Amino acid sequence: MKTMAKRDYYEVLGVSKDASADEVKKAFRRKAVELHPDKQGGDEAKFKEVNEAYEVLKDQSKRQRYDQFGHAGVGGASGGGAGGNPFGGFGGEWSGQNVNFDFGDLGLGDIFGSFFGGGAGGGHGQRQARGNDLETRVEISFEDAVFGTETELRLTIEDTCSHCHGTTAEPGYELKTCDTCKGSGQVVQAVRTIFGNIQQAAVCPTCHGKGKVPEKVCTVCHGKGTERRTQTIQLKIPAGIDDGATIRLHERGEAVANGQKGDLYVHVRVKAHKHFTREGDLILSDAHVSMVDAALGTEIDVDTVDGPVRMKVPAGTQSGADFKLSGHGVPHLRSEARGAHIVTIIVDTPTKLSREQTELLKQFQSAPKKHGIF
């Protein structure tokens, strides 16, 4: 199957290569609203393409590399996670949040924007057996990402045996030293080579390296130490979490006999909003006003995540002007402070005028001009 070449990022956003950062941002906002997949006439593939282009062009260093080397300078043609894998691109570089977060009794550990960037902690001498780490994904609304939420996870995993509690031994019986390896977990084997017979250590086939075996094997898990069971986990998602962040739940992964449970990694996807976009702790949206209101000034109700907010539009406001509504943006993960909501004014030019309106505009056009647009 032939792979389609990536489009030029400047072409995707509809800007020139010498466009300013402000022009790039405004072009992104227009395209994001126009192509939003939840909007009639939207296009999910093009919406993702616009987001990908903006992620590069808004960053000065990435933009310089792109200008010099093209797509190869910012990750080639991989394009992140694709295909049927819901966590595609997970092994590569993540651009999400990179913070630690304590969820107390819920057992949550770290929120990672870059999952494989952090270490899991080294062992002490001989490593204890450890269960497999697991991954799952949760999708939340734009508002839930802003204000935080709780959701329920239901997972069927290998959990600690409820009968023997992971010891592999029937209750009332103990673990005894393995007769085969005498507790070492290893046996010495003679191996014939071209240089003659040599001895090498191998994992004990009886205790599988544990050094101990049950006096009587558990009658439920049959010595496995685990059983398949469905778990229900209440997951607390903090206010201000971003799309692409990952929450680690310490020891909520799979169990293993006589060892430590693995971790559960929950990848958070935030649904796109029909009217709002997000940039860090800023929420961005557009507001339309008529040409007359822009010229004379007016007050409008702006939709925010907190509900409608009254905003003054000064006389002489130009299309593309930005206004800031402080405290109506996204909360910071580590504090109660919130970012701002940035409103971009779009001045609508009338397409149909009555005869009277046309005459009035002609009179205005012929009147002596003062400084400024009018």
pLDDT digits (tens, 9 = 90+) for 167-216: 999 999 999 999 999 999 899 888 887 777 888 889 999 988 889 999 99
Q: What number of CA atoms fall less than 13 Å from residue 111's CA on the CB side? A: 23
More confident residue, 102 or 18: 18
Mean pLDDT of 263-282: 93
Q: Identify the weakest region by mean pLDDT among 126-135, 181-190, 224-233, 289-298.
A: 126-135
pLDDT surpassing 90 at residue 235:
yes
Strand partners, 284: 277, 342
Question: Quick check: helix, strand or coil at residue 364?
Answer: helix
Which domains does the chain possess? 9-74 (1.10.287.110), 98-119+127-164+221-270 (2.60.260.20), 175-214 (no CATH), 277-365 (2.60.260.20)
Interhelix angle 44-57/21-35, nearest 10 degrees: 170
**Vertex 243: Cα angle to 286 and 265 (nearest 5):** 170
DSSP E strands in 69-148: the ranges are: 98-100, 108-112, 134-140
At 76 the pLDDT is 52
Task: Report the mean per-residue pLDDT for the chain.
Answer: 82
At 365 the pLDDT is 82
Question: Quick check: helix, strand or coil at residue 335?
Answer: coil
At 294 the pLDDT is 95
pLDDT tens digits for range 331-369: 988 777 999 999 999 999 888 889 898 888 888 888 876
Query: Distances in Å between the alpha carbon of 130 and those of 167, 261, 265, 349, 364?
Result: 14, 6, 16, 66, 79
At 246 the pLDDT is 93
pLDDT tens digits for range 243-253: 989 999 999 99
At 127 the pLDDT is 55
- Residue 277 near residue 55 (C-beta atoms within 8 A): no
pLDDT surpassing 70 at residue 118:
no
pLDDT surpassing 50 at residue 12:
yes
Structure token pair of residue 224: 């496995």
Query: Distances in Å between the alpha carbon of 38 and those of 12, 33, 271?
Result: 20, 10, 10
d(CA 333, CA 238): 7
Mean pLDDT of 152-156: 95
pLDDT surpassing 70 at residue 372:
no
- Residue 328 near residue 283 (C-beta atoms within 8 A): yes
At 4 the pLDDT is 58
pLDDT tens digits for range 33-66: 888 777 777 888 888 888 889 989 998 888 888 8
d(CA 320, CA 215): 78
- Residue 141 near residue 272 (C-beta atoms within 8 A): no
